[in-house]
A and B are shown apart, each in its own frame.
Chain A
Amino acid sequence: MTAAVELFVRRLEGLKTEVCRVAASGVAAAVAGACAARGIGRLGVPPGLPAEWRPAGVHVVEDHDLAPAELDALGAALTGCTLAIAETGSLVLAAGPADGRRALSLVPDAYLCVVREDQVEPDLPAAMLRIAGLIREQGRPVVFVSGPSATSDIELQRVEGVHGPRQLVVLLVS
């Protein structure tokens, strides 16, 4: 495990994100376990999600332009990502086939994201270099996700979980 990946894990944990270290072949089982632990029955996925990641024992719903209310009825969403940033503990979604639509990783209350170790960039400038091409050439919408949503608007006391997913799980694949 590289220094960047180590840092990434530390930052994720600091951001109240659960980290599961798995082998590539263990993703589906880990997802199934995470869903069972949270009582999640319906799991939304992008149509382009690799088949080997799809868990058994959970109702997997492909996101073919689900309406907001339908997304809200899902217990969780599972996607991949385009890359991750170690320095800030960020996931970067850029509308790739495994990333899915932005609404999918936003509305369900729990969000599971699969990150391969080789997707982890050390810092923001390195990540921007990779993303810039996708924006310049394809105009892809990009979202950086760094922890569950939070507010500090009441007496500056940090409250996790406002409008974005209140639970964030990263499955880190070596």
Chain B
Amino acid sequence: MSRAHPHDFPAAAREALADVQLRANLRGATRTIRARRAAAVAELPDFEELREQARRVKDDALERLDELLDEFQAAAEAAGARVHRAPDAAAANAIVAGIARDHGVTELVKMKSLATDEIGLDAALATAGVEAVETDLAELIVQLAGDTASHILVPAVHYSRGQVRDLFQRTIAQGRELSDDPHELAEVSRLYLRERFLRARMGVTGANVGVAETGTVCVVENEGNGRMCTTLPPLLVTVMGIEKVLPTLEDLGLLLRLLPRSATGERMSSYVSLLTGVMPGDGPQEYHIVLLDNGRRNVLADPVGRQALRCIRCSACLNVCPVYSRVGGHAYGSIYPGPIGAILTPQLWGMEEHAKLPFASSLCGACADVCPVGIDIPEVLLHLRARAVREQAPAPEKALFAAAAWAFGSPRSFDAAQKAGRAAEAPLSRGGLIRRLPAPLAGWTKGRDLRPVARETFREWWTRERGGETP
């Protein structure tokens, strides 16, 4: 989802940091999932090997993307599905709205799908007179609140139970007096949605994986709403990002060993559905699959950046990120937040709006440690920072770095710069420390003191004590 103006991550982050409830919710949530993931992964003695295998499978699939998409389409159609290609969001929305219109559908049930959020499907359907009911509990919460998701996997992580209670009380409680017990809240949503499942004429889902050899779509979930959406309505639509395609069912099996453990810290999610075309007498009798590009080919074109397309949306990187776990997803201004969002968003939709995202990181590398498909997020961050500087760097910053590069160009200029720094900061020094730096360095002293330039630098000492370079 691109914006008309550049997204200001530092400002958005500052706002998020001031939200005490959000910070507490995020801290609790990310720490809990982190621990579960670590325990689940520790059970696999060959986790590193599996990661490496998955990396290779994904890279191979990206290498042969067009071939695999053609294979997927042929196999899915042979099995009774109809496959559509959507180059961008508008095309995808038009296809789905068109299918609904052709069947006289005015209400459909929808499973959580980042791809559909990405293209703004719900809003597009509403414009076409179709109500899309979100059926994931978290997505339902977010939809009822008129809000947006803040996490890839637990989109309502920024809501406390009290906030959910208040929300349900004024929307779907139907007069019932609610407590904030999560069991009761889940029950309220269950009753509300069950009605809709049983009468649904059309279902919409995303896809975790598309298997090229058989045209199979794989959907992974815990709540059962995905099964409801893919089983009860006579008409089904899946919107799948083109990077989700894998060659074989064995490849799918490999990913299913990694995804639940990396995502929710479970050995297996409650339900995994493998949908292959249409089965007479069982489930939807009409199945449409929309293959979505929407910027993915931009990412594919970059030999270093394309590894971001390996992503299986497990969110392990979000949960270990010291930045994400303090500011949450909204601060990133994209449906894809956190470490993966910082490298995917600018590549999908351009550096003009998202130039600050590759800098929304301290490069600590915790994300790369946990990524089940071995994406080297720090490597891509550095790569995109270079692109951001080439395309968008502000002149004052460029001048500063050019000056530094000049100063480092020889020992004489470096020495001169050190002496000049020492002189310049003398008036700023109080009791041997600098407590306030002028803009643009003021961010440092906002919460830290700064040591001044040493009275005698190391090279000055060496020259004096050791008489210059030892022969």
Could you tell me the distance between the alpha carbons of A140 and B29 in the complex, rounded to whole angstroms?
38
Set B137, B199, B266, B272: member contacting A154, Cβ < 8 A: B137
Identify the interface centre among A102, A124, A141: most chain B CB within 10 Å of its CB.
A141
Chain A: interface secondary structure?
A: loop
The interface bits of chain A over 123-136 (1 if a CB of B lies within 8 angstroms of the residue's CB, else 0) are: 01101100110011
Q: Give every chain A residue within 8 A of B84 (Cβ-Cβ).
A: none
Set A101, A139, A154, A165: member contacting B281, Cβ < 8 A: A101
Contact indicator A162/B190 (Cβ below 8 Å): yes
Contact indicator B28/A103 (Cβ below 8 Å): no
Assign chain A's interface to a size class. 35 or more
Q: Give every chain B residue within 8 A of A149 (Cβ-Cβ).
A: 222-224, 270-271
Could you tell me the distance between the alpha carbons of A87 and B228 in the complex, rounded to whole angstroms?
26
Shortest distance between the CB of B200 and any CB in chain A (Å): 8
The interface bits of chain B over 269-296 (1 if a CB of A lies within 8 angstroms of the residue's CB, else 0) are: 1111111110101110000000000000
Contact indicator A162/B223 (Cβ below 8 Å): yes
Contact indicator B271/A156 (Cβ below 8 Å): no
Could you tell me the distance between the alpha carbons of A143 and B50 in the complex, rounded to whole angstroms?
23
Contact indicator B190/A154 (Cβ below 8 Å): no
Could you tell me the distance between the alpha carbons of A161 and B223 in the complex, rounded to whole angstroms?
8
Q: Give every chain B residue within 8 A of A80 (Cβ-Cβ).
A: none
Could you tell me the distance between the alpha carbons of A170 and B157 in the complex, rounded to whole angstroms?
33
Is B138 an interface residue, CB under 8 A from the partner?
yes
Could you tell me the distance between the alpha carbons of A165 and B164 in the complex, rounded to whole angstroms?
24
Interface residues of B in 224-266 (CB under 8 A from A): 224-225, 227-228, 231-232, 249-250, 252-253, 256-257, 264, 266
Shortest distance between the CB of A25 and any CB in chain B (Å): 30
Is B160 an interface residue, CB under 8 A from the partner?
yes
Interface residues of A in 129-174 (CB under 8 A from B): 131-132, 135-136, 139-157, 159, 161-165
Contact indicator B28/A155 (Cβ below 8 Å): yes
Whose C-beta in chain A lies nearest to the C-beta of B211?
Answer: A135
Known: A151-B137, A164-B227. A141 touches B183 (CB 8 A): no
Could you tell me the distance between the alpha carbons of A131 and B29 in the complex, rounded to whole angstroms?
36
Could you tell me the distance between the alpha carbons of A95 and B282 in the complex, rounded to whole angstroms?
8
Could you tell me the distance between the alpha carbons of A147 and B223 in the complex, rounded to whole angstroms?
11
Shortest distance between the CB of A52 and any CB in chain B (Å): 25
Q: Give every chain A residue within 8 A of B138 (Cβ-Cβ).
A: 151, 153
Is A65 an interface residue, CB under 8 A from the partner?
yes
Contact indicator B156/A152 (Cβ below 8 Å): no
Q: Give every chain A residue within 8 A of B256 (Cβ-Cβ).
A: 124
Q: Give every chain A residue within 8 A of B232 (Cβ-Cβ).
A: 68, 103, 106-107
The interface bits of chain A over 49-72 (1 if a CB of B lies within 8 angstroms of the residue's CB, else 0) are: 000000000000000010011001
Could you tell me the distance between the alpha carbons of A147 and B250 in the complex, rounded to whole angstroms?
24
Is B17 an interface residue, CB under 8 A from the partner?
no
Contact indicator B253/A125 (Cβ below 8 Å): yes
Is A79 an interface residue, CB under 8 A from the partner?
no
Known: A135-B249, A139-B214. A152 touches B222 (CB 8 A): yes
Identify the interface centre among B28, B224, B264, B277: most chain A CB within 10 Å of its CB.
B224
Shortest distance between the CB of A62 and any CB in chain B (Å): 13
Could you tell me the distance between the alpha carbons of A145 and B273 in the complex, rounded to whole angstroms?
9
Identify the interface centre among B79, B137, B250: most chain A CB within 10 Å of its CB.
B137
Q: Give every chain A residue within 8 A of B189 (Cβ-Cβ).
A: 162
Q: Give every chain A residue within 8 A of B264 (Cβ-Cβ).
A: 152
Q: Give every chain B residue within 8 A of A157 (Cβ-Cβ).
A: 161, 182
Contact indicator B271/A145 (Cβ below 8 Å): yes
Is B216 an interface residue, CB under 8 A from the partner?
yes
Shortest distance between the CB of B398 and any CB in chain A (Å): 44
Is B101 an interface residue, CB under 8 A from the partner?
no
Contact indicator B137/A153 (Cβ below 8 Å): yes
Could you tell me the distance between the alpha carbons of A68 and B186 in the complex, rounded to whole angstroms?
22
Q: Give every chain A residue within 8 A of B65 (Cβ-Cβ).
A: none
Q: Give every chain B residue within 8 A of A116 (Cβ-Cβ).
A: none
Could you tell me the distance between the alpha carbons of A20 and B273 in the complex, rounded to whole angstroms?
26
Could you tell me the distance between the alpha carbons of A127 and B29 in the complex, rounded to whole angstroms?
33
Q: Give every chain B residue within 8 A of A103 (Cβ-Cβ).
A: 231-232, 282-283
Is B159 an interface residue, CB under 8 A from the partner?
yes
Shortest distance between the CB of B9 and any CB in chain A (Å): 26
Set A136, A145, A148: member contacting B214, Cβ < 8 A: A136
Whose C-beta in chain B lies nearest to the C-beta of A11?
Answer: B267
Q: Give every chain A residue within 8 A of B160 (Cβ-Cβ).
A: 155
Residues of A within 8 A of B (CB): 11, 65, 68-69, 72, 85, 87-90, 95, 101-103, 106-107, 124-125, 127-128, 131-132, 135-136, 139-157, 159, 161-165
- Besides the known contacts A156-B157, A163-B190, 16 further A-B residue pairs in the complex with CB atoms under 8 A apart: A88-B267, A88-B268, A89-B267, A101-B283, A128-B252, A140-B276, A141-B276, A144-B272, A149-B222, A150-B222, A153-B141, A153-B154, A154-B159, A156-B32, A162-B225, A164-B224
9 A-B pairs in the complex with CB atoms less than 8 angstroms apart: A11-B267, A68-B197, A101-B281, A102-B283, A125-B250, A128-B252, A143-B272, A146-B272, A153-B156
